[in-house]
Structure formats: structure tokens, C-alpha cells
Amino acid sequence: MRRAMTTGFFISLVRWAVAGLVLCAAGATFARAPQPADAAAPNAITLADKALNSPSMLADESPYELIDPVGPGGISQDEAKTEVTSSTMMGGLLGDGNRSFTGGY
Amino acid sequence: MRRLAIVALVVALGLVPLGMASADGFFHHLRVDSLINDGITLYHSGDYQGSVNNLNDALSLSTDNMDALYDRGLAFYALGKYDEAAADFKHCLQVQPEFVPALFNLGVTQIALGELDDAKTIFQQIIAAHPTSVRAHFDMGLSNYMSGQADKAVDQFAVASFLHPQYVQAHYDKALAEYRTGNLVAADADASAALKLNDQYARAYFLRGAIRLRQGNDADAKAAFATAAKLSTDPVLKSLCTQIIAQIGA
């Protein structure tokens, strides 16, 4: 009888010890695992997304948004047509600035 | 002989008014050209109202002058008077329907007016006639993106960057559209392509920072935002980068 109680106590002790080890191991694992960015810095992502959803973050062709002026002192109508239809970016045919389509801002 | 002299005199007297009319037309034309020339010079110097004034004078002498109408549309656009700009470009198209620069500029003006469906119709029309028009594809992409069609914007920017691989803005906008669709891998690749072409591109670093944040790489995100803050000339963007870095923490 006494032996049975001792064995039961021992088994119970082992169970608690195993449970404790499992909990510790799990805790250590969670602590080491990289946190998802959404959880780590939700405000940072919100701020960044808010900015990126703004049309002002889009890159337009400025100052090339529109095709160059035509006529005396400007480009010819044919040159203006070419600016629109060309398969490469063209603009600033008057050479009036440091324009570049490899720019970005 | 005398009769011949009389005939010559009569003919000469008859030609005088014609000559005068011709000279008048010549000087009239010269005056219009001079006003347009000055209008363009003022436009390029940034004096857009001065440009409009000169072009108004030119149009008062020559109502349907294509060059003056078109150039005044540009000056109105630069002044933020988009309705007036659209009216001038439409007038151009009435005078000369096939003048594609006026159509293109009308499309850009419709974007500024927020008339995105009209803008898309115009750029689609240009793309149908000129499938390799990089500008039409790019502006179609802008119209798509601004109307919430990020996936369609990706396609248009992809064509623009394919047609002109050095076109950094097309790569960046494609990255932005990819980010909005949730395709972080593609967004990262396009942001890198933009930065390869221009390593001083602050907005591309900002976008890279956002991508890294979403990927859970806080350290690289901070570095990207710090670079964006350093390179940007926009105080709002600089401030935003500082706030984001503070939010990410140590």
C-alpha cells in the first residue's frame, strides 16, 4: 500500500517535471522566434502604408508630365508627336534643363 | 507704246492692294509667331501667367492657332487651372483631331482633374494606335493605380519598364503597385531595379523599408528608412522616416 502511494507520488512528480520542462522549452522557443513585423511594429507599418497609399508617393514624369510646347521657339508638331508615340522616354527636346528619365526623387 | 504703259500702270495699281494685303498678312503672321515665341520662353522660365498673357494676345489675332492653343493649355496646366487647360486641349483636337500630343496632354489633365475613367479612355486610345508608346503605358498605369486597380497598374508599368529599361520611375511605380497587391517579392525586385538605376532615390528606399518591415526584418527596415531620410529633400518624408524609425525601436 505504502509502496503504491510512493510510486503514485513519483509518477505525479515526473508528470509535473515534464510539464514544467515543456513549458520552459516552449517559452524559450517563443522568446527566440523572430516576431512577425505586424506584431513588432504595427505603428511603423501603419505609418509607412499610409504614406505609400498617398498619390504623392507615385513617381510621375515631372517635369515631363506634358509634352513640350510647340511652335516658334518650341519644338515642331512632328517632334511633339514623336514624344508621345516613342517607345523610349523623350522630353526636354529644347534642352532647357537637366532633365533625365533615369532620375527619380 | 503708250497704250502698253497705261496697261502696265493699271496692272501695277491693281497689284498694290494685293501687295499691301500680302505684307499685312506677313506682318500679322510675324506678330503672332513673335507672341507665341515669347509665350514659350516665359513658359520655360516659369512665368506661366506671362506665358498665358502672350498666348492670349496671339489668339486674339489668330483664334484657332493650334500652337497658341496648345501652348496656352500647357501654361494653364502649370498654373493648376486644369479646366482651362482641358478646354484648350479639346479645342486643339477640334481643330486638328489627329494631333496626338493634345490628346495625350488632355489625358494627363484628366488625371489632375480626377477624371480617371476619361483619362484611361484617352490612354487606351493612344495605346491602340501606338502600342509601343511608353508614355501612354506609363500614364495608363498611373490612372489604374490612382483608381485602385493596382494589378492593372503593374501590367502597364511592366510594359513601360520593358520598353524603356532605363526608365527608373516606371520601375519604382511598378514596385509600389506590386506592394499594394501584396506581392512583396516582386515589389522588392522592382525597388532594387529602381535603386540600381539611381542609388539616390529616396522614395525607393522608403518603399524598401516598408517591404522589409512587412518581411519582419526590422534592422534592414531601419537602415532603409534612415537612408531615405538622409537622401530626401522633402521635409515631410524626412519627418515620417524619423517617426517610423522611432516606432521600430532599438
Per-residue pLDDT of chain A (105 residues; tens, 9 = 90+): 455 555 565 566 556 655 554 444 444 444 444 444 444 456 899 999 999 988 888 876 655 689 999 999 999 999 999 999 999 876 544 433 334 444 333
Domain boundaries, chain B: 28-91, 114-194, 199-250
Window from A15-29, B2-16, B149-163, B211-225 with minimum mean pLDDT: A15-29
Q: B94 at the A interface (CB within 8 A)?
A: no
Window from A23-27, B24-28, B189-193, B206-210 with minimum mean pLDDT: A23-27
Residues 140-169 of B with CB under 8 A from A: 142, 145-146, 163-164, 166-169
Q: Find the mean pLDDT for residues B168-194.
A: 96
Let me know: does B67 contact B84? Beta carbons within 8 Å. Answer: no
pLDDT computed for residue B9 by the predictor:
66
Q: Which fold has domain B114-194?
A: 1.25.40
Contacts of A60 in chain B (CB under 8 A): 142, 169
Contacts of A96 in chain B (CB under 8 A): 44
* Cell numbers representing residue B223 in the block: 537602415
- pTM above 0.80? no
Q: A43 at the B interface (CB within 8 A)?
A: yes
Disruptive mutation site among B203, B231, B242 for chain A (greatest number of A CBs within 10 Å)? B203
Q: Indicate yes or no: CB of A67 within 8 angstroms of CB of B104.
A: yes
pLDDT computed for residue A34 by the predictor:
43
Domains B28-91 and B114-194 in one fold: yes
pLDDT computed for residue A14 by the predictor:
57
Is the pLDDT confidence value at B142 over 90? yes
Window from A44-48, A76-80, B9-13, B245-249 with minimum mean pLDDT: B9-13
Window from A13-27, B166-180, B227-241 with minimum mean pLDDT: A13-27
Q: If we measure between CA atoms, which residue out of B76, B64, B62, B65 comes closest to residue B106?
A: B76
**DSSP structural state of residue A76:** -
Contacts of A78 in chain B (CB under 8 A): none
Q: Which fold has domain B28-91?
A: 1.25.40
Disruptive mutation site among A66, A76, A78, A81 for chain B (greatest number of B CBs within 10 Å)? A66
SS (H, E, C) B34-78: HHHHHHHHHHHHCCHHHHHHHHHHHHHHCCCCHHHHHHHHHHHHH
Question: Cβ neighbours of residue B196 under 8 Å, at least 6 residues apart?
Answer: none
Rg (C-alpha) for chain B, rounded Å, is 27
Q: Find the mean pLDDT for residues B102-120.
A: 96
